[in-house]
Amino acid sequence: DVQLQASGGGLVQAGGSLRLSCAASGFTFDDYAMCWFRQAPGKEREGVSCISGGDGSTYYANSVKGRFAISTDNAKNTVTLQMNSLKPEDTAVYYCAAARIPSAFMLVAIIAGRFDYWGQGTLVTVSS
């Protein structure tokens, strides 16, 4: 049974940091791209960052480049999103997702939102 369990959201002041984690079970990380999406109230879902469990390739949305860092611990089947220099516009529900695709298809999958598995969201609130 596949599960994605996201954690680490909370309330932080602008300029602060949070670390989100997504623990996966029921599949092997090596074959999947692991991604974080977010959705703010009244806005469309946005692909924030992805990492290939196979070759470690990464993707970052322009809005988070230089501030967020994604990493995996394949032995623990965990993907982490370190979020620094947070801004009020980063406020959203963050979701982790998994797609069984090679890294070359990560961007296509993000745009299409076609992922095999989704975790429950974790709320990140950044106060000004």
Q: How many whole angstroms separate alpha carbon 43 and alpha carbon 114? A: 18
3-state secondary structure 64-94: CCCCEEEEEECCCCEEEEEECCCCHHHCEEE
How many other C-beta atoms can be found within 10 angstroms of the C-beta atom of residue 8?
16
pLDDT (tens digit, 9 = 90+) per residue, 44-80? Answer: 999 999 999 889 999 999 999 999 999 998 888 899 9
Q: How many whole angstroms separate alpha carbon 124 and alpha carbon 81? A: 12
Confidence grade of residue 1 (pLDDT, cut at 50, 70, 90):
confident
In terms of Cα–Cα distance, which of 127, 24, 120 is closest to 75?
24
Least confident of 32-41, 46-55, 105-114: 105-114
Quote the pLDDT of residue 113. Answer: 85
Average pLDDT of the chain, as a whole number = 94
